[in-house]
C-alpha cells in the first residue's frame, strides 16, 4: 500500500495570477499526508521500498529538528513497522519549539543530536550510528541528509508523469516550473523526469542552503544517477537553472508569503516556499506563462521560523 496520498492537487491560482500578470498554477505537494513531510513523502516512498529490498531492519537518516525529511522518514518507518534512528544537528531544542516534540511520540525511534548547529555535523555522526548498529548485529539502511540521492529523486521522476497527466486534463502546457532547491533531490528528480522526453518546461530552483555551483553539480549528478537506475538510454536536454537565495531579503520573503496567503489561502514557510515565490515575483515581468509553482510544504517552519535541513 502506498504511503503518500497521490496525486496531489494541481490547481489554478487566479488571484495570484492577476497580481503577477501571468498564469500561475500550484502543485500542492504540501498535501502528501505523510508526517507533515510535504514533498519529502515522494522520496521516502522509494527509500522505504529500497530499505525493504535490502533486508534492513532499521532506517537511519538525519537533518534538522524542523526538517520535512526527518518527519516524513519517522512517519514512514512507523507506518511500515520498522525501527528508525535519526541524527539531528544541534542540541535538543526546548519543548514546543521544533518537530522533536512530534518525533517523541513515535515508538521504536531513537534521536541523536550532534551538539553542533552546523548542518554538515550530521554526516559524521550518521557514519558512527551506522557503525554502532552493525556492531550490534543490526542491518541499517542509511540515507543522507534530506533524503537527496538517486533513489529519493525517483519520487519526482514519477511526479513528472503525474504533473503531465494533470496538465493534459486541465488543458494547460507549462512554460516554467518554480521551486526551492535545498538538498536538491526534488529538483534533480524533476530534471531527470523531463530528460526522458522532449518539450518540458524550464525548471527554476531557488538555492536556499547551498551555493549555486554546488546545487548545479548535485542536480546534474543525482539526475544522471537516477536515470541510470531506470536504465534510460536516450536523455533529452532540459532547460533548468539555479538562482541564488542564500541571503534573501527578509522583506521580499515576507511579502511573498503574505501575497500567497492573501490571494490563495496557501501558507508558505519562510525557508523554502516563500523564497521560491519571492524569486518568481522578482522575475515575473520576464516570465512567460503558464507557470507551475511547487508548494513543497515546511509546515513546522510556519510556526517556528526557519531551521530545517
Q: Check whether 67 has a pLDDT greater than 70.
A: yes
Q: What is the pLDDT of residue 66?
A: 83
Q: Name the pLDDT band for 205 (thresholds 50, 70, 90).
A: very high
Mean pLDDT (the chain) is 93
Distances (CA, A) of 187 to 23, 87, 207, 227, 297: 22, 24, 10, 14, 15
Which CATH fold topology does 10-38+149-304 show?
A: Rossmann fold (3.40.50)
Strands 202-207, 240-244: pairing kind: parallel
Distance between alpha carbon 251 and the CA centroid of its chain, in Å?
24
CATH 3.40.50.1100 domain extents, the chain: 10-38+149-304, 40-147
Residue with cell 551506522: 130
Whether pTM > 0.85 for this model: the answer is yes
| Distance separating alpha carbons of residues 187 and 254, to the nearest angstrom | 24
Q: What is the pLDDT of residue 299?
A: 80
Q: What sign results for the dihedral spanned by CA atoms 94, 99, 102, 104? A: negative
Q: What is the pLDDT of residue 115?
A: 96
**CATH placement of domain 40-147:** 3.40.50.1100
Q: Name the pLDDT band for 305 (thresholds 50, 70, 90).
A: low
Q: What is the pLDDT of residue 94?
A: 86
User: At 198, is the secondary structure helix, strand, or coil?
Assistant: coil
Q: What is the pLDDT of residue 225?
A: 98
212-261 pLDDT, tens digit per residue, is: 999 999 999 999 999 999 999 999 999 999 999 888 899 999 999 999 99
Q: What is the pLDDT of residue 212?
A: 96
Amino acid at each position: 500500500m502506498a504511503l503518500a496520498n497521490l496525486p496531489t492537487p494541481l490547481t489554478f491560482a487566479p488571484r495570484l495570477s492577476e497580481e503577477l500578470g501571468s498564469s500561475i498554477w500550484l502543485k500542492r505537494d504540501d498535501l502528501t499526508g505523510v508526517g507533515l513531510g510535504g514533498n519529502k513523502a515522494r522520496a521516502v516512498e522509494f527509500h522505504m521500498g529500497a530499505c525493504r529490498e535490502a533486508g534492513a531492519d532499521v532506517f537511519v537518516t538525519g537533518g534538522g529538528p524542523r526538517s520535512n525529511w526527518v518527519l516524513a522518514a519517522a512517519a514512514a518507518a512507523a507506518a511500515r513497522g520498522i525501527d528508525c534512528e535519526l541524527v539531528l544537528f544541534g542540541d535538543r531544542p526546548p519543548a514546543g519549539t521544533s518537530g522533536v516534540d512530534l518525533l517523541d511520540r513515535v515508538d521504536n525511534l531513537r534521536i541523536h543530536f550532534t551538539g553542533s548547529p552546523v548542518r554538515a555535523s550530521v554526516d559524521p555522526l550518521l557514519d558512527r550510528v551506522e557503525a554502532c548498529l552493525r556492531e550490534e548485529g543490526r542491518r541499517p539502511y542509511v540515507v543522507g541528509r534530506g533524503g537527496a540521492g538517486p533513489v529519493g529523486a525517483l519520487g519526482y521522476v514519477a511526479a513528472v508523469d503525474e504533473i503531465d497527466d494533470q496538465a493534459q486534463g486541465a488543458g494547460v502546457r507549462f512554460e516554467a516550473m518554480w521551486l526551492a532547491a535545498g538538498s536538491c533531490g526534488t529538483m534533480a528528480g524533476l530534471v531527470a523526469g523531463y530528460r526522458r522526453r522532449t518539450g518540458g518546461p524550464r525548471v527554476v530552483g531557488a538555492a536556499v542552503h547551498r551555493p549555486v555551483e554546488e546545487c548545479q553539480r548535485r542536480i546534474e549528478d543525482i539526475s544522471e544517477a537516477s536515470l541510470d537506475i531506470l536504465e534510460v538510454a536516450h536523455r533529452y536536454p532540459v532547460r533548468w537553472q539555479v538562482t541564488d537565495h542564500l541571503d534573501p531579503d527578509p522583506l521580499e520573503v515576507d511579502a511573498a508569503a503574505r501575497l500567497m496567503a492573501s490571494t490563495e489561502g496557501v501558507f508558505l514557510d519562510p525557508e523554502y516556499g516563500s523564497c521560491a515565490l519571492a524569486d518568481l515575483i522578482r522575475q515575473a515581468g520576464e516570465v512567460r506563462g503558464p507557470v507551475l509553482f511547487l508548494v513543497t510544504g515546511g509546515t513546522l517552519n510556519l510556526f517556528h521560523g526557519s531551521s530545517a535541513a
